[in-house]
Amino acid sequence: MENLKENVAIILPENGLEAKLKLAEKEQRKLRIKLGFDPTAPDLHLGHAVVLKKLKQFQDLGHQIVILVGNFTAQIGDPTGKNKSRQPLSAIQVQQNAETYINQLSKIIDVTKAEIVFNSDWLDSLPFSEVLQLLSKVTVAQLMHRNDFNKRFTENMPIAMHELVYPILQAYDSVQIKADIEMGGTDQLFNCTMGRQLQETNGDEPQIVICMPLLRGTDGKEKMSKSLHNIIGLTDSPNEMFGKTMSISDELLEEYIVLATDFFVAEKNNLKEQLKTENPMIIKKMVAKNIITQYHSVNDAIAAEEFFNNQFQKKNDDNKLFVSIAKSSLMITTSSVVEICHQLKKDSSKTAIRRLIESGAVQVNSIKITDPLEEVKLISDTKIKIGKRDFFNIVNDTE
Amino acid sequence: MENLKENVAIILPENGLEAKLKLAEKEQRKLRIKLGFDPTAPDLHLGHAVVLKKLKQFQDLGHQIVILVGNFTAQIGDPTGKNKSRQPLSAIQVQQNAETYINQLSKIIDVTKAEIVFNSDWLDSLPFSEVLQLLSKVTVAQLMHRNDFNKRFTENMPIAMHELVYPILQAYDSVQIKADIEMGGTDQLFNCTMGRQLQETNGDEPQIVICMPLLRGTDGKEKMSKSLHNIIGLTDSPNEMFGKTMSISDELLEEYIVLATDFFVAEKNNLKEQLKTENPMIIKKMVAKNIITQYHSVNDAIAAEEFFNNQFQKKNDDNKLFVSIAKSSLMITTSSVVEICHQLKKDSSKTAIRRLIESGAVQVNSIKITDPLEEVKLISDTKIKIGKRDFFNIVNDTE
């Protein structure tokens, strides 16, 4: 039980999981554990992995994972604020995305043992009269309690009527699937709770809701998300994974140790302890190698570290950009890529450097940057590569 | 045009009707004028007639009336506040109600020339994905501008989600029908305006909205409505029509002259003038006869007046209940039926009178009253009938 609750942010109701597990034992059956996804952006990343690893724990205990592909809703398109509807995906695109997604899932869970269902199976043919029956079970005020709806409503940002229907459909999926548990990130709490409500209205035992914490993106933003360009993808190459992990700020490191690595709890605690005294770069490299080992192999992890180090081997003062960084300052100084490169290559004009960046010739910590105005954090040991041969290293001259 | 605009409360947009009529003339076509109704309570009354007479004017000019039977929505049931859903009607009941309704329509418009359509024809088979497309065109905030939704939302009264869908469906009906004009009471302004919006979104010319005033009920309440038990039904017998009309308070009389009679405008103005000096009872009788003539015949009207007068022929002081009524007081004194009858028949016990009332033996202005606690206005000339033979008359002893 302690293992099952590791890292969990919310369980609803509080002792519901124990009760469900007892019930399953008594009835000698597997629990049905639902994970839903909209096949719109099929690239899985370390944020998804937090939830998937928890799912894997249940699968290893013999329970039944049910992967719900929200292909019905994906075909409609979910507008994200400001009247700007997302282009609906074609059925073929949705199908391809679902396949990609399921392939990626197999990096963490045993897909062959999971039940994979598509909600178009019951939503496509749902008669309008039954849609209205379904809608009659939920009030507007209830939906307006969802944080994002509430914020948009009070700030006079438009909410299209069909957006309000989404949580109800997700809840209806739980009824159809007969879910014992629904899993998701903490941002799914509202929708999963609505599933409990519809199951109860339907006379079924309501599902337990298990929410995992949201891993922040490599930029430190609230949530790792493809649309925020701050993800470490499960299918990223080892070198990409290494570079991206090295690029995270030190304050994110503890979160990544806890949520992104598969060290044992004791090892994680040990690493967190070391963070207080050790150079964070050393621990960041351990985290990066652990991540690569999970999704590729140990050898890939070692090779990636070597590549990273070699790339920045040629270390002399000419190739260092000295900046003053107060070691424990909460302020992080940033500068645009074009500015940094101009500092490093004073003989080139800013226009020339701008073109160079736009042509894709500049990398920061192994990540290609094509926007000259993109802000880069001036963190010690940040690696800048300009063209094929010029490597630079940002050095904190207060150290 | 003056005729067409007589009594109209709202035209939207203001000069839209002129433009539509010109367009019809130019394109040498009839205008399509929509009137929708939910076949839940099929009894038409003088309130409906206000709208229907306007429709008749357009029909007489050669335009196409389209009667929309909302049988789809009626089968779902429309909850009226407080989580209390109305029992959905069966398909057969809806069909019967629709037939009754259309029969009653023929008292005012030429039903054989009208197009009668059922919205189940396009809503029953509307795929869920198209429902969502439809919903995506309207925002929650927009719907919350509807008075009753707004009131319930701000007062924390539940609004079920499917209720929000109703105005959208009514609007979609206008798209399907290709309505040039939608007609209704002023309480339909919001829904009809939504029709304009959906037609525009659909690339069609938006309909003109024509709202007629709401006729108040015989009890002076805001709206004549079957559920408020304050209607004069189009199928009421001549005697019922007469008695009910006589029962309205004097302050309602002008409204009934304007909206419920079919006098010419000059005659109406004349009657309104007479109201200032004449005994209102005389004018009330003219209004009652005019109404009976519209829905029955002149002879029926004369017979009803005779019946009314004869019923209260036997006039002596024993049969009069004197009450003090200040002639132009705004206060109207009321008393329960049981109290009034007890005053009139002091030899009977209150319990006996109560039983008498409950058995249906008591009439006030020719209307059977079975609730002993029903309040009756102590207006001069109010007729009370107890049992088969006892007639009484309320007399204002301040006169």
- Choose among B131, B141, B162: nearest Cβ to A153: B141
Q: Which residues of A touch B156 (CB under 8 A)?
A: 141
Residue pairs between chains A and B whose CB atoms are closer than 8 Å: 102
Q: Is the pLDDT of residue A332 over 70?
A: no
Q: What is the pLDDT of residue A52?
A: 96
B386 and B361 Cβ atoms separated by less than 8 Å: yes
CA distance B242 to B255: 17
Strands B64-69 and B115-118: parallel
Tell me which of B394 and A287 has the higher pLDDT.
Answer: A287
Q: What is the pLDDT of residue A310?
A: 80
Which structure tokens are listed for A86?
A: 């997302």
Which structure tokens are listed for B295?
A: 């829905």
Report the run of H or E that residue B170 belongs to, with start and end.
helix B161-177
Residue contact A161–B156, C-beta within 8 A:
no
> How many C-beta atoms surround the C-beta of residue A341 within 10 A?
28
Please report which confidence band the pLDDT of residue A78 belongs to, taking 50, 70 and 90 as the band edges.
Answer: low
Please report which confidence band the pLDDT of residue A330 belongs to, taking 50, 70 and 90 as the band edges.
Answer: very low
CB neighbour list of residue B311: distance below 8 Å, 6 or more residues apart: B366, B383, B385, B391
Does the bond joining B13 to the residue before it have cis omega, within 30 degrees of 0?
yes
* Residue A185 CA from chain centroid, whole number: 9
CA distance A24 to A11: 18
Q: What is the pLDDT of residue A331?
A: 52
Report the run of H or E that residue B307 belongs to, with start and end.
helix B298-311
A206 and A182 Cβ atoms separated by less than 8 Å: no
Residue contact A165–B132, C-beta within 8 A:
yes
**Cα B200–Cα B201–Cα B206 angle in degrees, nearest 5:** 15
Q: What is the pLDDT of residue A321?
A: 62
Residues of chain A whose beta carbon is less than 8 angstroms from a beta carbon of chain B are 72, 75-76, 79, 85, 123-129, 131-133, 135-141, 143, 149, 153, 156, 158-165, 168
Beta bridge partners of A317: none
CB neighbour list of residue B34: distance below 8 Å, 6 or more residues apart: B66, B68, B173, B174, B177, B179, B181, B182, B183, B207
- A128-135 helix and B128-135 helix, angle to the nearest 10 degrees: 50
Residue contact B161–A85, C-beta within 8 A:
no
B145 and A156 Cβ atoms separated by less than 8 Å: no
Does the bond joining B372 to the residue before it have cis omega, within 30 degrees of 0?
no
Shortest CA gap B160–chain A (Å): 4
Report the b/e string of B30-58 with b at 16+ CB within 10 A.
ebbbbbbbbbbebebbbbbbbbbbbbeeb
CATH code at A315-399: 3.10.290.10
Within B263-388, strands assigned E span: 320-323, 334-336, 362-364, 367-368, 375-377, 383-386
Q: What is the pLDDT of residue B231?
A: 92
- A238-247 helix and A280-295 helix, angle to the nearest 10 degrees: 150
Shortest CA gap B77–chain A (Å): 9
Chain B residue closest to A160 (CA)? B139
Beta bridge partners of B66: B34, B115
* Residue B191 CA from chain centroid, whole number: 18
CB neighbour list of residue A231: distance below 8 Å, 6 or more residues apart: A43, A45, A46, A47, A217, A218, A224, A225
Strands A320-323 and B320-323: unpaired
Nearest CA to B242 among B180, B298, B170, B291?
Answer: B291
Question: Tens place of pLDDT for every residue, chain B, 399 residues?
Answer: 778 999 999 999 988 999 999 988 999 999 999 999 888 767 899 999 999 999 999 999 999 999 999 988 776 655 443 334 456 677 788 888 888 989 999 999 999 999 999 999 999 999 998 899 899 899 999 999 888 888 888 888 888 899 899 899 999 999 999 999 999 999 899 999 999 999 999 999 999 999 999 999 998 887 898 888 899 999 999 999 999 999 898 899 999 999 999 999 999 999 999 998 888 889 999 999 999 999 999 999 999 999 888 775 444 445 666 554 444 444 556 778 888 888 777 778 888 888 889 888 898 888 888 888 888 877 777 888 888 767 787 776 554
Residue contact B158–A141, C-beta within 8 A:
yes
CA distance A202 to A196: 10
Beta bridge partners of B32: B64
CA distance A362 to A265: 39
Residue contact A140–B161, C-beta within 8 A:
yes
Tell me which of A152 and B34 has the higher pLDDT.
Answer: B34
As assigned by CATH, the class of the B236-311 domain is mainly alpha
Report the run of H or E that residue A376 belongs to, with start and end.
strand A375-377
Q: Is the pLDDT of residue A313 over 70?
A: no
Q: How far apart are the first and last CA of chain B?
A: 46
CA distance B191 to B12: 12
Q: What is the pLDDT of residue B319?
A: 60
Residue contact B136–A72, C-beta within 8 A:
no
> How many C-beta atoms surround the C-beta of residue A363 within 10 A?
17
Residue contact B161–A159, C-beta within 8 A:
no
- In tens, the pLDDT along A38-76 reads 887 678 999 999 999 999 999 999 999 999 999 887 766
Q: Which residue is listed with tokens 């009760």?
A: A19
Q: Is the interface score ipTM higher than 0.85? A: no
Nearest CA to B179 among B102, B87, B64, B311?
Answer: B64
Q: Which long-range contacts (CB under 8 A, 24 or more apart) does B85-92 make?
A: B85/A136, B85/B160, B86/B40, B89/B39, B89/B40
User: Which DSSP state fits A284?
Assistant: H
Sign of CA dihedral B159, B161, B163, B166: positive
Q: Specify the CATH architecture of the domain B2-216.
A: 3-Layer(aba) Sandwich (3.40)
Residues of chain B whose beta carbon is less than 8 angstroms from a beta carbon of chain A are 72, 75-76, 79, 85, 123-129, 131-133, 135-141, 143, 149, 153, 156, 158-165, 168
Q: What is the pLDDT of residue B323?
A: 55
Q: Which of A35-39, A140-144, A391-395, B46-50 has the lowest mean pLDDT?
A: A391-395
User: Which DSSP state fits A359?
Assistant: T
Q: Which residues of A touch B141 (CB under 8 A)?
A: 153, 156, 158-159
* Residue A309 CA from chain centroid, whole number: 27
The values of phi and psi at residue A249, to 5°, are: -75, 155
- A161-177 helix and B128-135 helix, angle to the nearest 10 degrees: 150
Shortest CA gap A125–chain B (Å): 7
Q: What is the pLDDT of residue B328?
A: 40
CA distance B341 to A326: 96
- Sheet of strand A64-69, all strands in order from the earlier edge strand to the far edge: A10-12, A208-212, A181-185, A32-37, A64-69, A115-118
CA distances from A31 to A50, A122, B225 (A): 20, 22, 54
Which structure tokens are listed for B26?
A: 């130019």
Each domain of chain B, given as residue ranges in start order, spans 2-216, 236-311, 315-399
Within B151-296, strands assigned E span: 181-185, 208-212
